[in-house]
Chain A
């Protein structure tokens, strides 16, 4: 009540009209504000409930004991974090991931670029070749894992891989359970390659088609030989943005590997990436959501640091093509 000390009655006509003008302007802005929230509000509300709230709740739980419950029961400080960082299984899951990334990231990069170059140079039936390599994207990791596990690398005589080895007189291999030598990496890596090469190939083809043909013509005029030289000095530098995106996407995706490990190998201790381990401790027979939350947050921080480092090293965000 007392806030309206500046009595409107005391104001002159001139001020009054200015006030009226500002009121219409304010009404226009309030109208916009309301419309803004009509459009953006539902989305932001959902984001608060299903993105921000989970992270905060998880952060809180990570400082508590929480067995089979989502309510914090006993405050333990940083104990969950200490436990996870000294947990042999969690650390070895990070090791498993590192080996996996060392295989999958360079292979995906090189092979999807090779496919893109091959398809881009084909003159006949280009759409057919592109479709063939892109088609596996229609399959889920579950589908691909089932084919790999039951029909190609099943380790018995009627599996396709062992059948082919048999033609050359080589004994069958128990692909998914042999740890020494670690044959299980072959199905694990090839299943992901089959599923994702076509996706990255499409990105590279788009990148290749953005390169201006005049660059190549100029290079030929300058005496560059077609082949390795033009690839090294024109194609590769021109693909810089695409390459960086492919590498970063690939590494983030590798960190989050779950589906193929879960469906091909199950929760085995010799090859368990971080997410499979976290799934096991937080949603297995004992739902230990305190340690699970701590582990998830540690992993999130690692992924963010690695992504930032990688972007920095590769010069993402620099003015490029």
Chain B
């Protein structure tokens, strides 16, 4: 049996040496699974423990009495505006994703289908922005956003992130391969570009939209550097910024912080549970979303 290569099942083998190899592979897989799940175990354990249990010198595998009260303790902590932060993250996640998809899909469709003399030049101008490493733009973007007076505001958090050259590029490639016959039929019925796009193209592209929406929402929810730069006032903190501030505070309540972690990953775990198919599609289609 090969260690690598052809998709041969690893459940069985004819030769004794092969059987050892199969066994080793199962052991490797098992160790990897344990290592990957340990952090999730720690989140649950710490979130539902008392502080004393966590800091005890001997390891408590799991709290005997689950401390559900940690939830209300977290939301009643005046020092960390957790409810506000969740609200901000939800707004940023939903509006940011919807806006980015709307703008990029329309731009992508226009570039793919509407004849215009300078369309190529516009397309290159969009692709050129992909050359600029995203993270080094935080200082330049801060300069523009702060002169607009958008620091510490939801506008400042959302609007500058809406114009993703990469998403527009992906949509253009996708629409180039969209079956023209569907569009022609609608055009014969008298629909213009707008009607064709909204009534034919979008409804027939929902899996693609769902895939991009899933990865964009996750990226927005988890993004840290830009919200940190913009959120100079606690009223505009996202969940990530709130948690980060929490950990650098003078006194840390570990159980409370881990409850915050548990609450903050809940929406994404739900997305993973129900939309994983779209998510994996999104990752393989884009390949470049970090």
Contacts and interface: CB of A to CB of B under 8 A. Distances in A.
A100 interface: no
Given A40-B107, A135-B40, A138-B271, A49 B257 contact: no
A82 interface: no
Contacts of B284: 202-203, 206
B139 to A, nearest CB: 5
A147 interface: yes
Contacts of A121: 7-10, 25
Given A40-B122, A50-B159, A227 B5 contact: yes
A307 to B, nearest CB: 8
A144 B248 contact: no
Interface residues of A, number: 104
Contacts of A147: 39, 42-43, 261
B70 interface: no
- A contact patch SS: helix
Contacts of B131: 304
Interface string A297-314: 101100110000000000
A228 B114 contact: no
Interface in B104-154: 104, 106-107, 109-111, 114-117, 119, 122, 125-126, 129, 131-144, 146-147
A275 interface: yes
A49 B114 CA distance: 24
A199 B244 CA distance: 24
Contacts of B261: 143, 146-147
B274 interface: no
Interface string B1-23: 11111111111000000000000
Contact of B247 (A55, A122, A150, A213): A150
Interface in A172-225: 194, 198-199, 202-203, 206, 208-209, 213, 216
B54 interface: yes
Contact of A47 (B28, B111, B116, B163): B163
B40, B244, B265: residue with the most chain A Cβ atoms closer than 10 Å:
B244
A264 to B, nearest CB: 10
Nearest to A128: B33
Contacts of A160: 38, 42, 59
A203 B287 CA distance: 7
Contacts of B92: none
Interface residues of B, number: 104
A258 B10 contact: no
B234 interface: no
A292 interface: yes
- B contact patch SS: helix
Contact of B2 (A213, A230, A245, A297): A230
B95 interface: no
A149 B247 contact: yes
A35 B42 contact: no
Nearest to B45: A151
A46 B104 CA distance: 11
Contacts of B248: 266
Contacts of B110: 35-36, 38-40
B140 A55 contact: yes
B144 A213 contact: no
Interface in A269-296: 275, 278-279, 282-283, 289, 292-293, 296
Contacts of B143: 54, 57-58, 61, 70, 289, 293
Given A47-B129, A132-B37, A150-B257, A303 B4 contact: no
B174 to A, nearest CB: 15
A255 B10 contact: no
A44 interface: yes
Minimum-distance CB pairs A-B, first 9: A39-B110, A54-B140, A256-B135, A140-B222, A226-B2, A58-B140, A43-B107, A231-B4, A123-B9
Given A135-B36, A209-B7, A235-B5, 7 more contacts: A35-B194, A118-B10, A134-B272, A135-B269, A142-B224, A143-B261, A296-B136
